[in-house]
Amino acid sequence: MSKEYETVIGLEVHVELATKTKIFCGCSTAFGAEPNAHTCPVCTGMPGSLPVLNKQVVEYAMAVGLATNCDITRHCKFDRKNYFYPDNPQNYQISQLYLPICRNGYVEIETGKLSENQKNALKGKNGSEITENTEVKRKKVGIHEIHMEEDAGKLVHDDWGEVSLVDYNRSGVPLIEIVSEPDMRSAEEVIAYLEKLRMIIQYLGASDCKLQEGSMRADVNLSVRAVGSTEFGTRTEMKNLNSFTSITHAIEGERNRQIDILESGGKVIQETRRWDDTKFESYAMRSKEDAQDYRYFPDPDLLPVDIADEWIEKVKAAQPEFREAKIERYKQEYQIPDYDIELITSSKRMADIFEEASGICGQPKKVSNWLMVETMRLLKEKSMDPDQIRFSPANLAKLIELVDSKVINNSTAKEVFEVMFDNDTDPAKYVEEHGMKQENDEGAVKAICEKVIAENPQSVADYKGGKDKAIGFLVGQVMKAAKGKADPGTANKILKELLS
Ligand code: ADP
Ligand code: MG
Ligand code: ZN
């Protein structure tokens, strides 16, 4: 009889911070430049160059720490982690070992209600640990520490195995590493935790946290133990999993591998493993025995950072309203369904647009509809994130007012919106310039209706013979004749009057 096992998981999450410049020099952090375009003596490790700490990095780290209930270390400092690798020109990484900037925090996660990401992750392989469950469970996941460090450069290997090139543009890009306690027990909890972190950090504007693009990277530490046991088992670490799906698969695969070892009387070895999501298995990279000794020591080139209470207060005061608080306030302030609220608050950018546009036009449900339907459709079609939305709340409100005051009808509004979505065009001007105004003169619409009736005797006969649907066809003909600029409601009304 095999025992029941519990999975124990702790995460190390690296997040690239959205600063304009690198952590210890003034080089740009912009992505996509020519290789080595954004480099200087500091971030290429030239002898004699000296690092200067970027204040914004400290503020972002503090902001994330405060939002995750951490204590801020008033006297924190940087240490050198020594190792040789060609993407690391200094032969050490500046990080924080002894006195990380944040410690002892937690985030609260919710499970039981599957998010879109969890559902998608489930689609591929059978995630045995995720079950559809309607009861929402809340739990705290401890955060051991958050520290600041610099990213390494990037090696590019040619296809023939002869040449390796190095690009130092990423060298010195600021990172925070968020180390959790081993508090998670399933893939579902892990994804809920990552989503929670991502939401907090995105709301802070500290990073865009994209797993696929590497601005958020998760290392999964996992062990199993018999249910009821109070001691942790030996863990393995799986590095750099870059999607919720591969995280879910890796957890399932590694849990099963460890249980098989224990069931056959073996011992799990503490090691780093790489998960191959195409083969659905992991393989060992290096064990703890050949782990390097990094010979950490305090970096003599950087002063310790002393953080005064006033500075912490300043960062605290600048914190945004986070998602949970926003959801509660929306429920009080706006008459819109909970479903809308969930979707709108899933991005701070979208929530900001919603609030401002609703404030201007006073029609929250209509604003919400434009965001949930047309905006979501176009974002998906153009593979964009809500953060990249370009239209202004003022123009969205204007568009809604144009429809309300019958200057344009709904289908024209959709056309105008597509243009506005790309260029934040002023909808009123655009409608004016392109002669898109609706024909509100009932006399003019009536004339078109009469013409349509004369030209479509069969539909008229159908309608009169009791086929109510025929009116729809006639309205369509009127709209066509009016080049889309009639109000379908008015056309419908006039047609019925004429035919009765
Ligand atoms: P190291 O110093 O070797 O990196 P840490 O104590 O910093 O180890 O832990 C690294 C990560 O591993 C943390 O996120 C922690 O929660 C997790 N972890 C530690 N022990 C276990 C365990 N037995 N099972 C699962 N995860 C663990
Ligand atoms: Mg570690
Ligand atoms: Zn530089």
Q: Identify the band that residue 489 occupies on the pLDDT scale cut at 50, 70 and 90.
A: confident
Question: Does the structure show a pLDDT above 50 at 373?
Answer: yes
Instruction: Report the chain's mean pLDDT, rounded to a whole number.
Output: 92
On the question of pLDDT at 436 being above 70, the answer is yes
Give the Cα-Cα-Cα angle 256, 260, 264 (nearest 5 degrees). Answer: 170
Q: Which of 221, 225, 272 to mutate to test the pocket of ligand 1 (most atoms within 8 A of CB)?
A: 221
d(C-alpha 197, C-alpha 194), whole Å: 5
Nearest to 235 by CA among 260, 270, 263: 270
Pairing status of strand 271-276 against strand 236-241: parallel
CATH 1.10.1530.10 fits 442-499, yes or no: no
List, as one string, the DSSP characters of 372-423. IIIIHHHHHHTT--GGG--S-HHHHHHHHHHHHTTSS-HHHHHHHHHHHHHH
Residue 281 backbone class (left: φ over 0; alpha: ψ -120 to 50; beta: rest): beta
**Is the torsion defined by CA of 340, 344, 345, 347 positive or negative?**
positive
Q: What's the gap in Å between 223 CA and the centre of ligand 1? A: 10
Cβ-based burial of 245 (10 A; exposed 0-12, middle 13-18, buried ≥19): buried
From the CA of 153, how far away is ligand 3's center (Å)?
A: 12
Nearest CA to ligand 1 atom 22: 235
Q: For residue 11, which atom of ligand 1 is closest to its CA?
A: 14
Distance 63 CA to ligand 1 centre (A): 24
Ligand nearest, relative to CA of residue 21: 3
CA nearest neighbour of 433 among 447, 422, 419: 419
Ligand 1 pocket, mutate which of 5, 235, 288 (most atoms under 8 A from CB): 235
pLDDT of res. 127: 44
> 478 C-alpha vs ligand 1 centroid, how far in Å?
70
pLDDT of 358-368, one tens digit each? Answer: 999 999 999 99
Three-state DSSP class for 298?
strand
Provide mean pLDDT across the span 275-299: 83
Tokens 């469950």 -> residue: 133
Spatial CA neighbour of 182 closest among 141, 219, 211: 141
Which band of pLDDT confidence, cut at 50, 70 and 90, is reported for residue 293?
A: confident
Span 323-337, pLDDT tens digits = 999 999 999 999 899
Digit-coded pLDDT (tens) for 125-146: 444 445 555 678 999 999 999 9
Highest averaged pLDDT of the listed ranges 277-286, 414-423, 480-489 = 414-423
- Residue with CA closest to ligand 1 atom 7: 179
Range among 8-17, 236-245, 463-472, 489-498 rated most confident = 8-17
| Nearest CA owner, ligand 1 atom 17 | 10
Residues with CB under 6 A from ligand 1: 8-12, 179-182, 221-223, 232-233, 235
Dist. CA 479–CA 499, nearest whole Å: 17
Domain positions in the chain:
5-313, 321-433, 442-499
Q: DSSP letters of 181-235? A: -S-B-SHHHHHHHHHHHHHHHHHHTS----TTTTSEEEEEEEEEEETT--S----
**pLDDT given for residue 116 in this prediction:** 60
Q: Please say if the pLDDT value at position 417 is more than 50.
A: yes
Expressed in angstroms and rounded, the spacing between residue 242 Cα and the centre of ligand 2 is 18
- Closest to 255 (Cα-Cα) out of 283, 285, 235: 235
Residue 367 identity (one-letter amino acid): V
75-96 per-position pLDDT tens digit: 999 999 999 999 999 999 999 9
| Cβ-contact 37, 169 below 8 angstroms | yes
How many whole angstroms from 25 Cα to the centroid of ligand 3?
A: 5
CB of 141 within 8 A of CB of 180? Answer: yes
* pLDDT greater than 80 at residue 369: yes
- For the CA of 180, the closest atom of ligand 1 is 14
- Ligand 3 centroid from CA 106, angstroms: 34
- DSSP character string of 224-270: EEETT--S----EEEEEE-SHHHHHHHHHHHHHHHHHHHHTT-----
pLDDT in the model for residue 487: 85
Q: Are 174 and 148 in contact (CB under 8 A)?
A: yes
Buried b (16+ CB within 10 A) or exposed e, 19-47: bebbbbbebebeeeeeeeebbeebbbbee
Q: State pLDDT tens for residues 196-221.
A: 999 999 999 999 999 988 899 999 99
